[in-house]
Chain A
């Protein structure tokens, strides 16, 4: 026999499911079982219906779909027997919800059961209604429930009371019907009924303002009396929980008093006495007693002011804080957090205890206590509190350090009374937990340091001492390196000594040692190392005698795999070695950083202007080659009278210009390209102005090979451009009227406006070296015509093959509003005297982080260049 036929007992099914070793097995068992239940459902099997439904409830708990059992619930509820009804109602509550239409069908059965003679059946119906009633059902059945509030059996009365809560929540209009019945329930002696009546009363007050007014006037006195009796009553064993008489009733009473007293001075006044009694008489050595005290505190905090009671309440919380039970400390902290807005002074008195909780072994208590301390800090207590927190930072858990550090930094930044204190505290934090500090924090510290000119010497000496001991904390190393670089001279000469300082002896070579250690440490990241290089450059000027040693250290980074470091190393090396006249000017002391700007930027109003991190931002805004469409006729006009047949579209021209020519010297082409991109890509990119691209693509595809890594490595100095000529292109057009060769070297050429758009103007100034007429020096001057800032400005140019182009770095890659940038170009014309210069350009930049691109062709060069 199939063990999973619908004849299986519930117990057997559960056993079978429990025996499954894998989820797949379990699914198989459940699937089989569901199949047989479905079969039974469609057979309308009466015998096993409630057993099947019980199984479905189990299956539902495991998370399998059971919707096909919903109608079975209704059938069972409609059945006459108690067991069927019981399972039916259970199923109803578990498998259905108020949004399902099926539920409408159950209203009638519920109505009958609410009127049943058997009180247990009435109880079942009330329970189901209280759990899943919809608004429609609530309307339909409210009269029955209201009537049941007066039922003879207390069990039914209390369930009816809770059921009414659901009804008035679903249909607040019905609230007024329940006000009078509740008022009489409140006179009950049965604790269970009283408990539920008070809950109903509270919910009535919440949904209906009139009910609140009514109860406030008529029942406050009664409720206060009930509470008084409960507090003073002798031991009542049946409601006792650990020695306290019916704590739950007391809690509910306190809660309703809170609702009644909130915003009403008279009612609040009336309950002061009893609250004081509860607060003083309740035993606090058991959880139940503490629960009452806790509720009492909340009530005292919520009702209208009575200063004395509040102090009493906060003192209770203070006692809670030293309780051994974590739960009590936890709720006390939560409550103090609320109390701080009511009576901050009273909470301040427990500061010491709260501070102890920051060191609790329970993480969630620590976290709350820390938040609370954070709220408690003000100008007057910031020093001792910050000291305590920093001392604790030393011994705190690793995973708590992040939170703690952030809070300490925030406190210190917000409330620091003086700069020296701020710097001291931040140094301590950085030394203890520098690895947890966010970048903004140490950035802010540097800003503050630069602004505190009288403390520069003190700070740099403290930092020097700090990295000797805490060199493993990245943030402290960075700040120290920056300061040593900037104020190295103050460090060695003990300048700006404060009275509190002990003099230290640091030689120039010690200072450099410190930085060398930092740059060599294997854990230092790119930023730290780059900062070290920078600091070394500065020191090479501050300590001229150590210049050679610094140069050696800097040189070591020349081989770094990180482009940024490699490049800086090479640059700095050459500054130190070759440009000593420049050096001291270059590394003069930084101007004071503007605190307002910085904090504004931190607040997010100013977008960070410079992106530092990525290695690919070569700070050489260099360029290459480019081209454009409109004036191509001009180009062709140079040579020929007849318009070339291809001149109608730019792309065609391109094709002719480059594609038509044998592009066999790719390195030359790419050599003029941006090293940061692969040359071919750029080239293709440059050419991508129209459909015939495909052809160009094929003709240049060979070029891709040489363009990979080697190429990009070797590009720190641009390769000489191709020397092959462009004969084919223009010669093809027939005899060219050769322009008269320049006779002398000295002609001056007027500057031209090479390119102009709505946002930019590009001017070319020409000059020639005497004796080399075929070489033209061009100084390109880019002017920003708008008032916006252009960042990541890159100029690229392309020339035909008879020209060689050498681009030097631009003076900046940022064009300020109405500002200008210059860049030098050198053009070698291999067909000097025969052909004129021509150039295509592309200018790209970012405007408000949006990529902008402008292209053009320059063909209005003076003819004899």
Chain B
């Protein structure tokens, strides 16, 4: 199963943190820092896989991919296929791209809870729900529509200003 999905920028600032097995907050921060320590010192022409045994236990691995200023990181155990996880990240990023039309770091910062919603449509409880990015986009749009729907409570538009965003 997938243990965690993390997005951080090239300064080590977390932009999205989602753990599928609970970690206390201090531990989460420690993990983020240690991952950053590993990633920022990695050369460019090397594989995208890192062993994460020390933080997540036996046989866990970490796949990362860089997109512009962001590291996308997925941590998973040996029941997952590393190469498939790379594709999964590609799907996730493509979906973000469709939802935010040309996603950039700022989109993710200011709409972090929409990003969470997107992620929840792709991964649930550490398992992949959907790999078809247009299905995901559709579900996410339905949810956004429901939030903006005047039939739902009026407070909506004010309150989640963060994620109606742009």
Binding site for B on A (CB under 8 A): 9-11, 14, 18, 47-48, 50-51, 54, 57-58, 60-63, 65-66, 80-84, 86-87, 90, 94, 97-99, 118, 120, 123, 126-127, 130-132, 155, 158-159, 162-163, 165-166, 191-192, 195-196, 199, 238-239, 241, 246-249, 251, 255, 287-288, 290-291, 294-295, 298, 326-331, 361-365
Whether the pair B47, A90 counts as a contact (CB closer than 8 A) is no
Bound complex: CA A127 to CA B20 (Å)? 12
The smallest C-beta distance from B5 to any residue of chain A, in angstroms, reads 12
Distance to closest chain B CB from A367 (angstroms): 10
Given A65-B25, A196-B129: 14 more A-B contacts, CB < 8 Å: A61-B14, A61-B15, A82-B147, A82-B152, A97-B22, A123-B139, A131-B20, A195-B128, A241-B91, A287-B83, A287-B86, A288-B83, A328-B83, A364-B50
How distant is the Cα of A298 from the Cα of B80 in the complex, in angstroms?
11
Secondary structure of the B side of the interface?
Answer: helix
For B162, give its contact among A9, A82, A120, A127 (CB under 8 Å): A9
8 smallest CB-CB distances across A and B, nearest first, come from A291-B83, A97-B22, A10-B162, A130-B125, A81-B153, A326-B47, A63-B29, A330-B47
Q: Which of B60-118 contact A (CB under 8 A)?
A: 79, 81-84, 86-88, 90-91, 109-110, 112-113, 116-117
> Which of B43, B128, B147 interacts with A199 by CB under 8 Å?
B128
Which residue of the partner chain, among B22, B25, B142, B161, contacts A9 with CB atoms under 8 Å? B161
Contacts of B117 in A (CB 8 A): 86, 90
Alpha-carbon distance between A298 and B78 when the two chains are bound, in angstroms: 12
User: Distance (Å) between the CB of B113 and the closest chain A CB?
Assistant: 6
Known: A159-B129, A364-B46. A81 touches B156 (CB 8 A): yes
**Which of the listed residues B26, B50, B117 has the most CB atoms from chain A within 10 Å of its own CB?**
B117
Q: Would you give the shortest CB distance from A430 to chain B, in whole angstroms? A: 30
In whole angstroms, how far apart are the Cα atoms of A169 and B160 in the complex? 35
List B contacts of A99 (CB < 8 A): 22
- B129, A158: Cβ atoms under 8 Å? yes
A83 touches B45 (CB 8 A): no
Q: Kindly provide the distance from the CB of A88 to the nearest chain B CB, expressed in whole angstroms.
A: 12
Contact of B109 with A14 in the complex, beta carbons under 8 Å: yes
- Chain B residues contacting A94 (CB-CB under 8 Å) are 18, 116
Q: Does B134 contact A (CB under 8 A)?
A: yes
A239 touches B161 (CB 8 A): no
Nearest residue, chain B, Cβ from A288? B87
Which residues of chain B are within 8 angstroms of A361 by Cβ–Cβ distance? 45-46
Whose C-beta in chain B lies nearest to the C-beta of A199? B127
Task: Answer whether A364 and B47 are a contact pair too, CB < 8 Å, given A11-B110, A191-B132.
Answer: yes
21 sample A-B contacts, Cβ–Cβ < 8 Å, listed by A number: A50-B160, A51-B158, A51-B159, A83-B159, A83-B160, A97-B22, A130-B127, A162-B124, A192-B131, A192-B135, A199-B128, A239-B131, A241-B87, A291-B86, A327-B47, A327-B82, A327-B86, A331-B82, A364-B47, A365-B46, A365-B47
Q: A196-B129, A247-B87 are in contact. Are A120 and B146 (CB under 8 A)?
A: yes
A81 to B160 Cα, complex, angstroms: 13
B49 in contact (CB, < 8 A): yes
Closest CB-CB distance, B106 to chain A, in whole Å?
Answer: 9
B84–A291 CB distance below 8 A: yes
Is the CB–CB distance between B156 and A83 below 8 Å?
Answer: yes
A51 neighbours in B (Cβ, 8 Å): 158-162
Decide: A251 and B110 in contact? CB cutoff 8 A: no
| C-alpha gap A62/B120 in the complex (Å) | 20
Asked whether, in the complex, the Cβ of B147 is within 8 Å of the Cβ of A62, the reply is no
Q: In the assembled complex, which residues on chain B have CB atoms less than 8 Å from the CB atom of A163?
A: 124-125
Question: What A residues does B159 contact at CB under 8 A?
Answer: 47-48, 50-51, 54, 83
Q: How far is the CB of B19 from chain A (nearest CB, A)?
A: 9
Is B40 an interface position by the 8 A CB rule?
Answer: no
| Known contacts A11-B110, A61-B112, A63-B25; A127 and B84 CB within 8 A of each other | no
**Chain B contacts of A97 at CB under 8 A?**
22
A80 touches B110 (CB 8 A): no
For residue A155, which residue of chain B has the nearest CB? Answer: B139
Residue of B nearest to A129 (CB): B125
Q: Which of B22, B81, B90, B113 contacts A87 (CB 8 A)?
A: B113
Cα separation A255 to B77 with both chains bound (whole Å): 14
Q: A159-B124, A195-B128, A241-B131 are in contact. Are A98 and B22 (CB under 8 A)?
A: yes
- Which residues of B lie under 8 Å from residue A251 when comparing CB positions? 81, 84
Most buried by B among A126, A155, A298, A328: A155
Question: Of B22, B87, B149, B162, which contacts A132 at CB under 8 A?
Answer: B22
Cα of A246 to Cα of B142 in the assembled complex, Å: 24
- The answer to whether B116 touches A54 (Cβ under 8 A) is no
Q: Are the C-beta atoms of A131 and B125 separated by less than 8 Å? A: yes
With A54-B113, A132-B22, A329-B47 as contacts: A120 and B124 at CB distance below 8 Å: no
A90 contacts B116, C-beta separation under 8 Å: yes
Contacting residues, chain B, for A60 (C-beta < 8 A): 25
Interface string of B5-39 (1 = CB under 8 A from A): 00000000011111010100110110010000000
Name B129-157 residues within 8 Å CB distance of A: 129-132, 134-135, 139, 142-143, 146-147, 149, 152-153, 155-156
Task: Point out the residues of chain B lying under 8 angstroms from A14, CB to CB.
Answer: 109-110, 162
Known pairs A11-B110, A81-B152, A365-B47; A291 contacts B160 (CB<8 A): no
Q: Hey, which chain B residues are within 8 Å of A362, CB to CB?
A: 43, 45-47
Q: Shortest CB–CB separation between residue A305 and chain B, in angstroms?
A: 22
Known: A11-B162, A131-B125, A241-B87. A363 touches B113 (CB 8 A): no
The reply to whether A120 and B47 form a contact with Cβ atoms under 8 Å apart is no
**Whole-angstrom CA separation of A365 from B43 in the bound complex:** 13
Which residues of chain A come closer than 8 Å to B147, judged between CB atoms?
A: 82-83, 86
Query: Do B127 and A196 touch across chains, with their CB atoms under 8 A apart?
Result: yes
Distance of A61 Cα from B156 Cα, bound (Å): 23
A331 touches B83 (CB 8 A): yes
Q: How far is B101's CA from A599's CA once the two chains are assembled, in angstroms?
A: 67
**Chain A residue contacts of B129, Cβ below 8 A:** 158-159, 162, 192, 195-196
A326 touches B87 (CB 8 A): no
Which of A10, A287, A364 meets B49, CB within 8 Å?
A364
Contact of B87 among A10, A61, A81, A291 (CB under 8 A): A291
**A-chain residues with CB within 8 Å of residue B128 when the two chains form the complex:** 195-196, 199, 248
A327 near B113 (CB under 8 angstroms)? no
Q: Which residues of A contact B29 (CB under 8 A)?
A: 63
Residues of the A chain whose Cβ atoms lie less than 8 Å from the Cβ of B20: 131
Query: Nearest chain-B residue to A46 (Cβ)?
Result: B155
A82 CA / B155 CA spacing, docked (Å):
11
Tell me if B45 and A326 are in contact (CB < 8 A). Answer: yes
Query: For the complex, what is the distance from the CA of A118 to the CA of B158, rounded to whole Å?
Result: 23
